[in-house]
Amino acid sequence: MTAVACCSPLQGAPLSAEDAQTLARTVKALADPTRLRLVSLVAAHGGEACVCDLTEPVGLSQPTVSHHLKVLVDAGLMTRDKRGVWAYYALVPGALADLARVLSTP
Amino acid sequence: MTAVACCSPLQGAPLSAEDAQTLARTVKALADPTRLRLVSLVAAHGGEACVCDLTEPVGLSQPTVSHHLKVLVDAGLMTRDKRGVWAYYALVPGALADLARVLSTP
DNA sequence: CGAGGGGATCGACGGATGTCAATGTCTGCG
DNA sequence: CGCAGACATTGACATCCGTCGATCCCCTCG
């Protein structure tokens, strides 16, 4: 639901239990090979793709793909835009970069 | 066991099923609030800590902490160095940065 | 050598998770 | 209106995962 926890250095001060849980929820959304492929496919598809574009490349059923996309949307990593019959999924612009910055603060 | 898959852009070309599985194994190691706290605690402890330093802050049993640390070591994110009676865990220098770079290639 | 302590491993259990088939919902078209 | 297609939701099932108590290993010190 919420975007990436954009204020936790991870290195530096120890994470509180709450911050750890929040950050883990985002990381968990990416901790699945299918969801990583979906992110990669959407990015390579011009930043936007509908479910019908993704079902065949990942080789899973349509409900399963739909479920994974929902997980990514709930984690704040993707957006869903329903236009007509199709639902277009797109990456949230800074989300992955924010997460990356939280993981490795130099 | 192996370090972070340091050659997958994630954005750009679509991930293969094998690359996705490899990357997911690393991300999965961080997809737990306890393990995120352990990484954070070790980093804040001067980059090195023994199990006895970590058990009390996370509030879990010693076997559980030991299990989580093993997961992090197996993922290539930490190293284990047994000196005398104590086992010192430390972050692998570039591991988190490598992972962050894979997640958000500009 | 025997005792003590730090840590790893084992076995078990409950909850979370990925997957699919079946079904429901909504949109556009004839 | 009625049908077909694109997605979402539900229910069920198998599996994985985090956690703990009990136990085992190994090092150090009397």
pLDDT at B2: 52
All residues of chain B having their beta carbon less than 8 Å from the beta carbon of residue A20 are 33-34, 36-37, 40
For chain A, the average pLDDT equals: 93
pLDDT band at A9 (very low <50, low <70, confident <90, very high): confident
Q: What is the pLDDT along chain B (106 residues), one digit of tens a residue?
A: 555 656 678 888 999 999 999 999 999 999 999 999 999 999 999 999 999 999 999 999 999 999 999 999 999 999 999 999 999 999 999 999 999 999 998 6
Q: Which architecture does CATH list for B17-94?
A: Orthogonal Bundle (1.10)
Q: Give residue A91's identity as a one-letter amino acid code.
A: L
Q: Find how far residue A71's CA is from the centre of its chain.
A: 7
Rounded distance between C-alpha atoms, residue A53 and residue A45, angstroms: 9
Task: Give which of A7, A30, A53, A68 to mutate to test B binding, by max B Cβ within 10 Å.
Answer: A30
Residue found under tokens 């936790």:
A8
B23-CA/C4-C1' distance, Å: 43
Structure confidence by residue, pLDDT tens digits, A64-97: 999 999 999 999 999 999 999 999 999 999 999 9
Interface touch A21/B33, C-beta < 8 Å: yes
Judged by CB atoms closer than 8 Å, whether chains meet at A14 and B41 is answered as yes
pLDDT given at position A4: 63
Chain B residues within 8 A of A57 when measuring between CB atoms = 14
Give the model confidence (pLDDT) of A20-50 as tens digits.
999 999 999 999 999 999 999 999 999 999 9
Tokens of A35: 């969801």
Which pairs with CB-CB distance under 8 Å and at least 24 residues apart come from A28-32? A28/A75, A28/B31, A28/B32, A29/A71, A29/A72, A29/A74, A29/A75, A29/A77, A30/A75, A30/A77, A30/A99, A30/B24, A30/B27, A30/B31, A30/B103, A31/B24, A31/B27, A31/B28, A31/B30, A31/B31, A32/A68, A32/B24, A32/B28
**Which nucleotide across the nucleic acid strands is nearest to A84, CA versus C1'?**
C27
Q: What is the pLDDT of residue A68?
A: 98
pLDDT of residue B11: 87
Give yes or no for a contact between B11 and A18, defined as CB atoms under 8 angstroms apart: no
pLDDT value of position A8? 74
Residue in chain B lying closest to A23 (CA): B33
pLDDT value of residue B40? 97
Q: So what's the pLDDT on residue A99?
A: 96
pLDDT at residue B44 in the model: 96
Q: How many CB pairs below 8 Å do chains A and B form together? A: 114
CB atoms A103 and B103 under 8 Å: yes
User: What is the model's pLDDT at position B5?
Assistant: 58
